[in-house]
Amino acid sequence: MPSELAEGVVAGNRRALARAISHVEADNAKGRELLADLYARTGRAQTIGITGSAGAGKSTLVGALAREERKRGRTVGIIAVDPSSPFSHGAILGDRIRMQDLTSDGGVFMRSMASRGNLGGLAEMASGVVDLMDAAGFDVVLVETVGAGQDEVEVATATQSTVLVANPGGGDDVQSMKAGLMEIAQIMVVNKADLAGADTAVMQLRGLLAIAEPRAWTPPILKAIARTGEGVPELVDAIDKHQAHVRSDEHAEAERHGLVESQILSLVRAALYREALGAARAEGSIETLVDEVVLRTRDPRSAATTLIDALRSRWMTR
Amino acid sequence: MTTDQRTLRVLIAKPGLDGHDRGAKVVARALRDAGMEVIYTGIRQTPEMIAEAALQEDVDVVGLSILSGAHLEIFPRVIAELKKRSVDDVTLFCGGIIPAADIPAVKEMGFQAVFGPGTDTNDIIAFLRENATERA
């Protein structure tokens, strides 16, 4: 039986949604129960990831996208992920600054999220929040992440369409993006296209695509100036086109299964990691191993194997 | 550790028309370094925007910074907007330029602490750790 909170989310109660997100973020029992209750009600929203390096103009673009979607009569949920400090685990979440005008729009709900440094858990957390917003009835859910590492690349599994935001003059950036982001992007946009070098950046991206494996969907490369909104309607058109692709043809069927598979696997990975960490910290077993490795009486790999054995025996005795 | 202790979420907002946000930023940074998640919304926020952000972000704490002298007019409106949205379990504090004579009135409205210029940020951190309400 769905809880009162789950019913509140479905009914579009904003306070219920906000509280539900907190439970999912904390990854507590209530959060997991909510997601289980609400999953059947998801799948209706367009889910879109916006990624790119720091300073690429992602927040501004997300704001512009949201405004354009609102013009088209769609409601918008926004999830903006910022990194947690690796030292204090705290975070300053400042994405609302660029979307101030959207705060008082009843058709928009925005949530800032800290990555919380949980290895592999970021995608898990984000996909849960996407599901909540989907179940709450938002037509479009935008997820903004700093495309800086594996965790962020994985966030792509939480959304159906991923938009890569690049900039003019970012030649080296483009190079480094090859490694992961290129493969996951379904749409590429050169933002700040009023700066010199925009066409060169488009050409570089086109060049990179030309050497990639041909796929059922060829990522379009667009230009935009998020600050003024120029090129944003075209970007929304491109997203709509990809969404239509995802939802219809037979190639998309395989893609959809692939997406769900990687989502399940990333959940398994995060859960296993947490279990392993728990086992490693239990009874101070890791400290002894660390001491031994530091003294070189044991090698790191056999220490890891020992911890995995400990985990296995924890499971056996359950 | 993040897993053992609930991470406090704090909204730092600047209502009204003054644009001096150095103090608010210093506080935001200190709270982050103390392991809290700080949502910073920028300057010139209306009471409605602040309350709506507090709701959407599901924060534990709302801290207002004001230097314009309009606190007695603006603060009650922020509180009214929070009430309107049933955001009734947040800890409120404020800072900036609040004359000593106004502090009782500000506390009467529901602000549990007032931190003026020269405050040691450690005092703010200690206050929040002690007073942020437990939730279900």
Taking the domains of chain B in order of start, what are their residue ranges?
9-130
- Name the pLDDT band for A152 (thresholds 50, 70, 90): low
Residue contact B53–A92, C-beta within 8 A: no
Residue pLDDT, tens place only, A4-36: 999 999 999 999 999 999 999 888 899 999 999
Residue among A15, A85, A100 minimizing CB distance to B86: A15
Residue among A88, A93, A96 minimizing CB distance to B34: A88
Which residue from A minimizes the CA distance to B44?
A: A100
Mean pLDDT to the nearest integer, A116-120: 60
A1 pLDDT exceeds 70?
no
**CB of B7 within 8 A of CB of B32?**
no
Q: Is A94 on the interface with B (CB under 8 A)?
A: yes
% of chain A at pLDDT higher than 90: 43
Residue among A91, A103, A110 minimizing CB distance to B37: A91
**CATH code that applies to domain B9-130:** 3.40.50.280
Mean pLDDT by 10 residues, chain B (136 residues): 65 86 90 94 90 96 91 94 93 92 93 91 93 72
In a mutagenesis test of the A interface, which of B58, B59, B122 is the best target, namely the one with the most A β-carbons within 10 Å?
B58
Q: Give CA–CA dist A178/B46, Å, rounded.
A: 43
Which residue from B minimizes the CA distance to A115?
A: B37
Residue among B31, B40, B58 minimizing CB distance to A22: B58
pLDDT score, position A270:
79
pLDDT score, position B2:
37
Q: Give CA–CA dist B38/B58, Å, rounded.
A: 12
Which residue from A minimizes the CA distance to B6?
A: A26
Residue contact A18–B2, C-beta within 8 A: no
Burial per residue of A268-291, b for 16 or more beta-carbon CB atoms within 10 angstroms, e otherwise? ebbeeebebbebbeeeeebeebee
Which residue from A minimizes the CA distance to B88?
A: A15
Note the Cα B94 to chain centre separation in Å. 5
pLDDT score, position B84:
95
Residue at token pair 């709450």: A136
Residue contact A85–B55, C-beta within 8 A: no
- Name the pLDDT band for A149 (thresholds 50, 70, 90): low
State residue A37 phi and psi, 5-degree precision.
-65, -35
- From chain A residues 167-196, the ones with a CB under 8 A of any chain B CB are none
pTM of the model: 0.88
Residue at token pair 């495309």: A147
DSSP A177-201: HTTTHHHH-SEEEE-STTSTTHHHH
Residue contact B37–A103, C-beta within 8 A: no
User: Distance from A259 to chain B by nearest Cα, in Å?
Assistant: 28
State residue B69 phi and psi, 5-degree precision.
90, 5
A158 pLDDT exceeds 90?
no
